[in-house]
């Protein structure tokens, strides 16, 4: 296999693979040629093109090979590395208007780098060295890694071991490795990856030992079935023409993965039974991944642009309420970016030597993302007007009996061709109601954890004791309710909050 350098190389690397993918009740022969799947491949290919066209943003020099490699495969060794990930994500959101699918693997690698190190310290295992040699191989070929964390969870009240048939788990062990069975739901970009890393999705107890498995599996491994998500308006990608689809080039990808006795050899196993580290892994992964959602600020830039453009096309760019709505969208969008990149700037070094972002700010970023895109979508639809949801199809627009009439009656500003106005409306529809609304809205809600998951983490880390002591001191009360001196203890808390490098 040759190292992948460009988007084109990447698309070629997905050809002739023996995958079992179902979509709309049929086995997919070649995903790269499937009209519903191809836009998601294009979005991921853009990450390679960016690395090629803007290497400072999209790539780094691999510490393993000394050659350029995608920034999505880089282990962060500084705060600046964390920040640069966010800058790359915003740019790719701008260029694709959708989910480019590559951050899950990036965040999984970075979380595993420190967690494997700490497991080894406790249990004298060699997961960290295994992870590094796996990374070395991945860097050599510049591959795409999918992170598979979210299990199907069945009855949410029951821990994994009480519903044996649901979560991914080890079903058999032999001298060479382990076999896993179970299912992962809505796995971003899994079919567009070369390898997937399975990881536990929740805190595990002693009886969940078989669920404490982390391992890398080739996407083509035998025993895996992929079932492609049937998403809002995806059939538009099969329409003739390019108008109604809204964004003909790019989309996200979500699929269910079913594992049936899939083999993982020891060299690709990075956790095997250390159930007490599952929660730490989930926490670190979500810290990285929740600030990765600055991707949505890049997508938001496109939506703001579309809202401004459609206002012009409707002939009302100077109305003060329109400008004000665009200001509101910008303020909301920059809030996502501001908090996400702040989480990276507040990053710190782990025991393993790599850098991780601030957990609280990462959670606040993602929590904003569960709400802001919906409000941005509302404002964009407000500016677009009702036609965004009622306009005729491209076939009607081009029908000989209707063409001239529709061209006349659907015209906005005289300076703008009718078709351009309709294209802009379809883009807004695509992003707020259609295919890419899946990524912009619902994935913003549930990806990297649903809103309540962030609130739980915020509750855990909001340092109420510290804040209460601040209040005690200023209120002139020396002794807090727990009997300790509020003034004496304050400095200890202070150092943890504002530690200086």
Question: Shortest distance, CB of residue 217 to ligand SF4, whole angstroms?
Answer: 19
| β pairing state of 355-356 and 21-23 | unpaired
Residues 4 and 44: beta-carbon distance below 8 Å: no
Q: 7 vs 447, which CB is nearer to ligand SF4?
A: 447
For ligand SF4, which stretch binds (CB under 6 A), given 23-31, 150-158, 291-299, 492-500? 291-299
Tokens matching residue 378: 């509302």
What CA–CA distances, in Å, run from 283 to 139, 169, 450? 26, 20, 14
| Cross-strand bridge partners of residue 265 | 177
Task: Tell me the three state secondary structure of residue 171.
Answer: strand
- Catalytic hit among 47, 96, 98, 188: 188
From the list Fe ion, ligand SF4, none, partner contacted by residue 358 (C-beta under 5 to 8 A by kind)? none
Question: Shortest distance, CB of residue 136 to ligand SF4, whole angstroms?
Answer: 24
Window 223-252: residues binding ligand SF4 (CB under 6 A): none
Please, what sign has the CA dihedral across residues 335, 339, 341, 342? positive
Residues 187 and 253: beta-carbon distance below 8 Å: no
- 292 contacts ligand SF4 (rule: CB under 6 A): yes
List b or e across 311-327, with b for residues whose CB sees 16 or more CB atoms inside 10 angstroms: bbbbeeeeeeebeebbe
Residues 170 and 271: beta-carbon distance below 8 Å: no
Window 11-30: residues binding ligand SF4 (CB under 6 A): none
- 103 contacts ligand SF4 (rule: CB under 6 A): yes
Window 446-475: residues binding ligand SF4 (CB under 6 A): 447
- 58 contacts ligand SF4 (rule: CB under 6 A): no
Q: How many residues bind ligand SF4 (CB under 6 A)?
A: 11
Residues 52 and 124: beta-carbon distance below 8 Å: no
- Catalytic hit among 254, 274, 394, 429: 254
| Cα–Cα distance, 352 to 270 (Å, whole number) | 15
Q: Phi first, then psi: what are they for 161, rounded to 5°?
A: -70, -15
- C-beta atoms surrounding 350 within 10 Å: 18
| β pairing state of 269-272 and 213-218 | antiparallel
Tokens matching residue 200: 């536990």
Q: Give the DSSP per-residue string, 220-235.
A: T-TTEEEEE---TTGG
- 340 contacts Fe ion (rule: CB under 5 A): no
**Active-site annotation holds for 99:** yes
From the list Fe ion, ligand SF4, none, partner contacted by residue 103 (C-beta under 5 to 8 A by kind)? ligand SF4
Tokens matching residue 221: 């491994």
| Cα–Cα distance, 247 to 306 (Å, whole number) | 12
Q: 177 vs 447, which CB is nearer to Fe ion?
A: 447
Q: 19 vs 103, which CB is nearer to ligand SF4?
A: 103
Tokens matching residue 273: 């039974």
| Cα–Cα distance, 2 to 141 (Å, whole number) | 6
Question: Shortest distance, CB of residue 448 to Fe ion, whole angstroms?
Answer: 6
- 7 contacts ligand SF4 (rule: CB under 6 A): no
Q: 21 vs 190, which CB is nearer to ligand SF4?
A: 190
Tokens matching residue 170: 């080890």
Q: 160 vs 447, which CB is nearer to Fe ion?
A: 447
**Active-site annotation holds for 233:** no
Question: Shortest distance, CB of residue 443 to ligand SF4, whole angstroms?
Answer: 5
Q: 130 vs 366, which CB is nearer to ligand SF4?
A: 366
From the list Fe ion, ligand SF4, none, partner contacted by residue 292 (C-beta under 5 to 8 A by kind)? ligand SF4
- 295 contacts ligand SF4 (rule: CB under 6 A): yes
Question: Shortest distance, CB of residue 373 to Fe ion, whole angstroms?
Answer: 13
Window 431-460: residues binding Fe ion (CB under 5 A): 447
Q: Indicate which single residue of 59, 98, 125, 188 sits in contact with Fe ion (rule: CB under 5 A).
A: 188
Q: 295 vs 428, which CB is nearer to ligand SF4?
A: 295
| β pairing state of 21-23 and 224-228 | parallel
- 101 contacts ligand SF4 (rule: CB under 6 A): yes
**Active-site annotation holds for 295:** yes
**Active-site annotation holds for 179:** no
- 48 contacts ligand SF4 (rule: CB under 6 A): no
Question: Both ends of the chain: CA-CA distance in Å?
Answer: 43
- Catalytic hit among 103, 190, 357, 365: 103
- Catalytic hit among 76, 99, 190, 357: 99
**Active-site annotation holds for 293:** yes
- C-beta atoms surrounding 344 within 10 Å: 28
Residues 397 and 406: beta-carbon distance below 8 Å: yes
Task: Tell me the three state secondary structure of residue 310.
Answer: helix
- 40 contacts Fe ion (rule: CB under 5 A): no
- 72 contacts ligand SF4 (rule: CB under 6 A): no
**Active-site annotation holds for 116:** no
**Active-site annotation holds for 103:** yes
Question: Shortest distance, CB of residue 280 to ligand SF4, whole angstroms?
Answer: 21
Binding site for ligand SF4 (CB under 6 A): 99-101, 103-104, 188, 292-293, 295, 443, 447
Binding site for Fe ion (CB under 5 A): 188, 447
Active site residues: 99, 103, 188, 254, 289, 293, 295, 443
């Amino acid at each position: 296999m040759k190292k992948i350098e460009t988007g084109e190389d990447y698309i070629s690397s997905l050809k002739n693979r023996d995958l079992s993918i179902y979509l709309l009740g049929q086995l997919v022969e070649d995903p790269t040629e499937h009209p519903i799947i191809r836009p998601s491949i294009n979005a991921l290919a853009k990450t390679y093109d960016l690395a090629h066209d803007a290497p400072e943003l999209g790539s780094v020099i691999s510490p393993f090979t000394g050659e350029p490699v995608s920034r999505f495969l880089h282990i962060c060794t500084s705060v600046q590395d964390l920040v640069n990930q966010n800058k790359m994500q915003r740019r790719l959101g701008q260029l694709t208007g959708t989910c480019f699918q590559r951050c899950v693997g990036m965040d999984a690698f970075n979380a595993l780098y420190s967690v494997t190190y700490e497991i080894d310290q406790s249990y004298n295992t060699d997961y960290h060295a295994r992870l590094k040699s796996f990374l070395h191989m991945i860097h050599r070929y510049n591959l795409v890694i999918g992170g598979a964390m979210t299990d199907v969870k069945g009855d949410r009240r029951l821990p994994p071991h009480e519903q044996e048939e649901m979560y991914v788990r080890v079903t058999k062990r032999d001298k060479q490795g382990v076999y896993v069975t179970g299912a992962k739901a809505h796995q971003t970009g899994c079919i567009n990856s070369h390898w997937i890393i399975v990881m536990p999705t929740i805190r595990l107890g002693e009886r969940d030992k078989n669920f404490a498995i982390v391992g890398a599996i080739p996407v083509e491994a035998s025993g895996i079935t992929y079932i492609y998500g049937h998403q809002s308006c995806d059939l538009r990608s099969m329409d003739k023409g390019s108008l109604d689809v809204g964004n003909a080039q790019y989309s996200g990808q979500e699929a269910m993965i079913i594992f049936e006795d899939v083999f993982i050899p020891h060299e690709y196993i990075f956790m095997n039974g250390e159930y007490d580290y599952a929660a730490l892994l989930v926490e670190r992964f979500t810290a990285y991944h929740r600030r990765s959602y600055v991707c949505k600020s890049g997508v938001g830039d496109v939506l703001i642009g579309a809202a401004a453009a459609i206002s012009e096309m409707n002939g009302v760019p100077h109305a003060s309420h329109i400008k004000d709505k665009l200001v509101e969208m910008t303020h909301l969008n920059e809030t996502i970016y501001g908090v996400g990149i702040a989480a990276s700037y507040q990053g710190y070094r782990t025991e393993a030597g790599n850098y991780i972002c601030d957990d609280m700010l990462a959670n606040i970023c993602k929590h904003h993302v569960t709400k802001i895109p919906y409000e941005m979508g509302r404002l964009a639809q407000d500016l677009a007007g009702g036609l965004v949801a009622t306009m005729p199809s491209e076939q009607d627009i081009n029908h000989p009996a209707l063409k001239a009439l529709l061209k006349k009656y659907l015209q906005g500003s005289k300076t703008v061709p009718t078709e351009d106005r309709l294209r802009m409306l379809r883009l807004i529809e695509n992003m707020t109601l259609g295919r890419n609304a899946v990524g912009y809205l619902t994935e913003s809600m549930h990806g990297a954890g649903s809103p309540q998951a962030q609130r739980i983490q915020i509750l855990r880390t909001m340092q109420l004791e510290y804040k209460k002591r601040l209040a005690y001191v200023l209120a002139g009360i020396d002794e807090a309710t727990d009997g300790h001196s509020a003034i004496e203890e304050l400095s200890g808390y202070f150092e943890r909050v504002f530690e200086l490098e």
